[in-house]
Structure 1
Amino acid sequence: YRYCMLLLIVGIGGLIGLEVPLLTRILRGYGSLRTILSDVLSFDYLGSLVAALLFPYLLLPLLGTLHTSLVTGLVNTTVALALLLYFGQHMGRARSWLAAQGVVVFACLAAMLWAAEPLRERWESALYEDRIVFSTQSAYQRIVLTEWHGDLRLFLNGHLQFASVDEYRYHEALVHPAMALSSSRQRVLIIGGGDGLSAREVLKYPEVLEIDLVDMDRAMTDLARRDLRIARLNKNALSHPKVRILNEDGFTFLQQPHEAYGVIVVDLPDPRVAGLSKLYSVEGYRLFKRHLSPGGLLVTQATSPYFAREAYWSIAATLETAGFVLFPYHVLVPSFGEWGFHLAGERELPIAEVEFDIPLRFLRAEMLPSMGIFPSDMERLQVEANRLDSPLLSRYYREGWGRW
């Protein structure tokens, strides 16, 4: 698949590269070479700009990936047929053959567009083991909910975010060590966590007064508030009066002044691409540190120390470079496998003294020190920190998971 995709990209790129010389040759009778070349390049750049704006801001959010690709194909085929009609006299006998091909391609694309919704549902169902109960394309990602025998699962761009049968293991391990050890719990910041499950855990502490939840995808937070299945799972956390939802970019939010937080929970998707990894960077963690109150703690999910060992320890190195003192720990989440976290503060943490004064389904205080022990195949590696100008983390992540 990978090689076929690369060949296709090279082929399409080559054809695109032929546009300018071909158009210049066809239009040479309509003016000087300088004028023609200037006009062709101007319209080429203008078209690229319009397409670059339309795709992420209009077509993808409104139509989705499949419909957008078919509509784009129809527009291109229509333009090709119009150009063939206008400049056909230059093509001789090839005109009829090219016109026939264009009509066939147009008809095929139109037929696929007419049947796109059932096709999309069938293709999408084939990607997931369980029955799809909800799917939508937001401005940022494909959101899919599946359910089977009471197990509700959320997928973002095809990647599992939680399974209701065991998500409590992940969210208790993520939230409660930081909440138990922080010197202040009144104000809590959650970056990501649009499903409301981290907020559910934070709300178990009566001394919490404010929770700011920053997730840039409004479609995700709206779903977590309005879908009865997720709202039941998160106990209507995102509708709680203590929770303020801010649908904006987390990095941008951190660049603005805010009242300090006692706990910051970073519940972001894995850093699969460089764009996702900016909040996992040295610069990002320094911004986080500026928003912590004295004695405050930051905790982040950090992918799997087994499946993506280099990425996990790169996040550790990044936090330490940003000035944090760490307690790395891990837990088994059956739907994910072995999963890792980093608890970070300004000084060494008294892990052995932790106490949980609320009832939990999974986590116990005596477990926490042993969660910081890593077997030989997960122990620390010497890897580099992730920076904005050197985004190594996404490469570490892809190489790690690529082995599986």
Structure 2
Amino acid sequence: MMFDFLQPLSDDLVIDIHRVSNQALGKKVILHNHQETPVLEEDTIAIIGVLDNRGLNSVNTLEDLDEIRLQFYNLFPGNWNTNIYDLGDIIAGSTIEDTYYVVKTVCAELIKKRIIPIIIGGSQDISYAMYRAYDNLDQMVNLVAVDGKFDFENGQNSELADSYLSKMIVDEPNNLFNYCNIGYQTYYNSQEEIDLIEKLYFDAYRLGEVSHNTTIAEPVFRDADIVSIDMRSVKSSASGNKKPFVPNGFNGKEICILARYSGISDKVSSFGVFNHNNSKEESVLISQVIWYFIEGYHYRSKEYPIGTRENFIKYIVPIEDEELVFYKSNYSERWWIEIPFTNSSNKLKRNTLLPCSNEDYILATQQEIPNRWWKAQRKNSI
């Protein structure tokens, strides 16, 4: 049973949560406590804490996530009609691999029930365990990381939180179809890492690009299965996290916009927020990031994958030796582009339509092939 791996919320925390306003989230969320184990329904959301940050330190220093929960449950919900559960915490295992196994097992069970796990974790290497939860789902996986670094490091002294992506690429079974980084800062990444992103046909957007125009990230989240947010991608003046001090990064508004894009995506089935210092200041922002993800979830349009084309306008753009086929939704006015399907693997059939933007269509009419289309086509043909 999944609940065998989950530590219920403490009685003291439950008492504090019940003190919030009758209209606040604390009175709306179904809590896993020592008196009651919730009965889970499909098409819902489950919040889970992971009390393990050994990916940042050799010794685990994460004791609880109570402050994040208290900040979140004092917020007021939007016009939400989906059950939200707080399933408690996964405690640190004897080894980090033990923690990975439990996170993988719990997430896999939730995803199969169409319940979206929101992981408020310790270190970002927990994303690797979330990725492994998809092993038995017979699909390729797209990961989007909001992060100032690519987390490819493989040096002897590298922290797990800075090297988990290498494990995803190397370890079997290899189900990673695409990785996209949102907000990388060039001086935190070696040229070899930047070159590797290109060689693997992965996507990356610099901090300045996204800060200047956050809408360029929306199609990327629309094609993601897992979204992993590194709180060190937020500048310290916005997060309150001074260890380490981050002079440049997203501000509070931008990180909440990206969380909302994640929630709106019909495809995102797991979401995590990592590498925080558990301070009260940062907990305020994390609670709002979670709020915006759930707000976005309630505005999902269920347009993707596209089952019928009758509510879409089809555009065909001749360019060089290709015909680029675009679809625009009459409902949301969002865009998709068709990727020529040349691989016989059943796992890749879902990737024949790639979310894109109106700007991509305009570029195509000017005889410029969208970069993400080119990369996706190359990966589909491998």
Fold similarity call, TM over 0.5 = no
Q: Given the two structures, how large is their TM-score scaled by the length of structure 2?
A: 0.32
**Structure having the higher Rg:** 1
Structure number having the greater helix percentage: 1
Greater RCO, CA 8 A, separation 6+:
2
Q: Given the two structures, how large is their TM-score scaled by the length of structure 1?
A: 0.30
